[in-house]
Structure 1
Amino acid sequence: MKRRSLFAAAGAGATAAVLGAEAAHAATYAGYAMAYFTESPSMTAADYNLHLAVSADGLNWTPLNQNAPVATPTQGSTGLRDPFILRKQDGTFAVIATDLKGTDWTYQSQYLHVWDSIDLRTFTGYRLLKVHSLATHAWAPEAIWDASRGQYAVVYSAVVGGRNVLMVNYTSDFVTASAPQTFFDPGYDAIDGNFVTVSGVNYMYFKNNTNSTLLGTRSSTLNPGSFSIYTSAITPGRGVEAPQIVKSNTADVWYMWGDTWSPNGRFFCWQTTSLSSGSWTLLNDRAYTQPLNSKHLGITAITAAELSALTARYGTPAWSRIKSYNYPDRYIRHQNSVGRIDAYPFDPYQDQLWTLVPGLADASGVSFRSVNYPDRYLRHVNYAMTLAVNDGTTLFAGDATFYKASGWADSSWTSFRSYNYPDRYLRHSNYVLRIDPVTSSSAASLQQDATFKIGY
């Protein structure tokens, strides 16, 4: 789709000549911030404003501000897509984004939304940046410092010669920009450029918009026309876009995120230990969790102090999502008062949101209170899990109370033991939730059915 990308921190191995202040700080990075907007399959979660999430490992994300926006565009279309966070040479941030509210792909804006920020906790100087005067759009912007010019290169997608190509303007202040020129044209529709620089080599990944696959290019310079494709097509087996590459802060590993078509999208994530090889391995969904309803992510590395300050400023969600171990694309939800696991994304998206409160029968346990039906809890009836109004009885309290235990299939995950049937654990069977006996001698498949991950 129409998306932006971001300049991920390239880590200590990147050349200081290209990365400037970023390389000097790379060794101190301890987390990540993600920018995104939101949509859901029926568009009930559509929100075309700036959202933020944070992560310690770059894989599992915590939405900030209860997944509500932290900044709102007020000019142009009054909505954004494809937000991108740039850490500038002075260590402060610029946020740029596509000027488009909704999904009217015929909308033509010559501008980008821009904010300044010293810490991603406040956003100032909101403005529009004009990048061209053509009868076309300016989609999925990313900025990267071009040391040879002493300016930032702003790269985005626009239609030239009947197809999308990647265009570039140069700026020092994100207030005015040079005349646009073609940056990369593979001869077919191309969007969503994403940059990272390692050991003097500049890598740019983009979306082949004719078949919805990702491709990698590289160049020894950042000059327009200098990038050559060096990978085969990358796909998770369905259409993908919006590549986003970020380096682990703790290991010689790179992650590449990709988004699927809006609004039914979800993220996929690959990893590699060698960008130069162009070989990527698709990760299992157990390894990562995207922010709820997030679209077109942009990631930048942040320090431990910045991570702590962002969490303190915006808070963490008051709700949780609970992921299945052996079907990690599925989350616990209620549907027609039945407890089950379903594949993300779905609507009503609130059905997967739970407040884990002190157990109704024992405060050392937990009970699952529905966010969109806050007078209702998951309980078992004849061993089947159902969503029901708390009737205040001792039986209800016992049926709705569980103890958290080490996951049967993975001790870093969680299993939930029934309060009033302590030999039974919450599990799914044919995607429907129930409680059944589970022991150390139980079949591995049953232990996996009874293992979950609490996250956001």
Structure 2
Amino acid sequence: MNLRRRALALLAALCAVLAVNAAPASAANSAYVFAYFTESPNMNGANYGLHLAVSQDGLNWTPLNQNNPVVTPTAGTLGLRDPFVLRKQDGTFVILATDLNGTDFGQQNQYLHVWDSTDLTSFTGYRRIRMHNLATHTWAPTAFWDAARGQYGIVYSAHNGTTDVFMVNYTTDFRTVTANQVYFSPGFPVLDGDIVVDGPTFYLYYKNLSNGLLYGARSTTGAPNSYTTYTSGLRQGSAMEAPLLIKNNAGTGWWLWGDSFSPVNNDYYAWSSTNVGGNSWTALDQRAYTPPLNAKHGSIAGITTAEYNALVSRWGTPAWTRLKSSNFPDRYVRHADLAGRLDAYPFDPYQDQLWRMVPGLADSAGVSFESVNYPGRYLRHYNYEIRLDPGDNTAAFRADATFHRVAGLADSAWSSFRSHNFPDRYLRHSNYLLRVDPIGTATDRADATFRLTP
């Protein structure tokens, strides 16, 4: 009997160990988390701490903690870039990041920032790990589980004395690492690798520094120097880096994101594919996605419903909203010189596009738009033109500043805003200036349709 009890106890202990080390089922993921840092054209929005946003569809993102950092490094340069979130085999998370505070890319730094987290509502075990002794940088980490080795690979951008390559170190605990070795050096300089393991295939997406395009490579082993490039070059906009590959939670498709590199251009572009191995990427219309505000060079991981709810509960969602144009989806409603406008994002001051949508000043069933950076000023029409004026509490002002939200005139999933005191007129843009006008044509309807987004 004692032997039987010991055998049962041993079996129970073994099952517990296996349960801890089993990879979480991807089907359990129903939402997504995005980790990033922030910059804006004049660096008005620059912050080199860890920022998080969440999404339920993987395309439209809600910044957490009012788009402030949830944790900031306390050693090294005291700042980070290029944060990477990996769900480990035990179901918890590890966060890796470049140790660089700002844009001094000439710095030599051999370290990465590291945190542990159970569910991204708190961060523990902060440390820096030394990856090499080379006189170079350690940028843009990505990590993956190598089942054949029984270790995680940490891959990062470095210079080997001759050219820009990807290096790799292996680890089991993200505290001690093996000696660095070259992981990918295809004969031209490369930057910003992202690795995703899908079944028996390892996918590595990267930037070719010689031509500025993004490419995908693949391997059946994930071993160093085992990858073959299989895609054509990709780019949207004028410059691009930091490819970010993610499989959707439904398991039916893939997204590839690319950072525009320059904070004066659109921060992110995206592609989709139903077959990551097929060299067939389709650029997504910007109506389909909205990156986190001012986000730069991040990473995306799948999370469960419980983790999504915990993140929202812990960090909170923005107290402001933005209005994205339906027919010019790279442009947002903003004020500039106190005039209502539609301008291409990003811009500074970036706060010009942030609005508190409050109950209508003339009718609480409607809405009014109060400026975040000029509190007490509201969007109102005057001679049918939209401008930002201080509330004077007159009946005329309250009526001019009140709109009624209705289903989008060009897309019922979006929104349009009917004037309270001129109910035959709607908020719309014309030559990028905002007005209230009667709506008749398809162009008018598109001009008057907006997406409310954080």
- Structure with bigger gyration radius: 2
- 1:161 is displaced (CA, Å) by 3.3
Is 2:208–2:215's contact at 8 Å kept on the other side of the alignment? yes
Deviations 1:285-328 (A, max 9, x none): 10000111110010000000000110011110000011000000
What is aligned with 1:334? 335
Other-structure match for 1:185? 185
The alignment partner of 1:277 has SS state of coil
Q: Distance in 2 between matches of 1:413 and 1:249?
A: 24
Shift of 1:237: 4.1
Of the two structures, which has the highest relative contact order with CA contacts closer than 8 Å and spacing of 6 or more? 1
| Counterparts of 1:21 and 1:285, CA distance in 2 | 39
What letter is aligned with 2:256?
Answer: M
Per the TM alignment, residue 250 of structure 1 is displaced from its structure 2 partner at its CA by 2.8
Residue pair 1:22, 1:87 contacting (<8 A) in 2 also: no
Superposed displacement of residue 22, structure 1: 7.6
* Residue matched to 1:168: 168
Give the unaligned 5+ runs of structure 2. Answer: 1-19
Q: Give the whole-Å Cα distance in 1 for the aligned partners of 2:45 and 2:211.
A: 27
- Give the total of aligned pairs: 434
Aligned ranges 1:255-334 → 2 under 5 Å: 255-265=255-265, 266-334=267-335
State the distance in 2 between where 1:126 and 1:214 align: 32
Once residues 68 and 197 of structure 1 are traced to their aligned partners in structure 2, the CA distance between those partners, rounded to angstroms, is 31
Residue 91 of structure 2 aligns to a residue in which SS? coil
- Residues 256-283 of structure 1: per-residue CA shift (max 9 Å, x gap): 1100123324100100000110210000
Q: Is 1:206 matched with 2:206? A: yes
**What's the offset of the Cα at 1:251?**
5.5
| Runs of 4+ more than 3 Å apart | 20-24
TM-score, normalised via structure 2 length = 0.94
Aligned to 1:57: 57
Q: How does 1:93-104 map to 2 (within 5 A)?
A: 93-104=93-104
Query: How has the CA–CA distance of structure 1 residues 368 and 21 changed in structure 2, closer, same or farther, with 3 Å as cutoff?
Result: farther
Alpha-carbon contact 2:24-2:90 (below 8 Å) kept = no
Q: Counterpart of 1:217?
A: 217
SS at match of 1:207: strand
Counterpart in 2 of 1:12? none
Asked if 1:36 corresponds to 2:63, the answer is no
Aligned to 2:443: 445
Partner Cα distance (1:269, 1:380) in 2: 36
The correspondence of residues 8-23 of structure 1 with structure 2, limited to 5 A, is: none
2:151 paired residue number: 151
Question: Does the 8 A contact of 2:142 with 2:194 survive in 1?
Answer: yes
* Distance in 2 (alpha carbons) for counterparts of 1:237 and 1:354: 28
Q: Deviations over 1:166-190 (max 9, x none)?
A: 0000011111111000000011110
Using the TM superposition, give the Cα deviation of residue 198 of structure 1 relative to its aligned residue in structure 2, in angstroms.
2.1
Residues 22 and 193 (structure 1 numbering): CA distance in 2 closer, same or farther, change over 3 Å? farther
Shift of 1:144: 0.4
Q: 1:194 maps to what in 2?
A: 194
Q: Please give the alpha-carbon distance, in whole angstroms, between the structure 2 residues aligned to 1:21 and 1:27.
A: 17
Find the counterpart in structure 1 of residue 349 from structure 2: 348
Contact 1:112 1:130 in 2 (8 A): yes
Compute the TM-score of the two structures, normalised by the length of structure 1: 0.94
**Deviation of 1:249 (Å):** 1.6
- Percentage identity across aligned positions? 58
CA deviations over 1:78-113 (Å, ceiling 9, x no partner): 110000001000000000000001111111110000
Calculate the aligned-residue CA RMSD, in Å: 1.1
Match of 2:387 in 1: 386
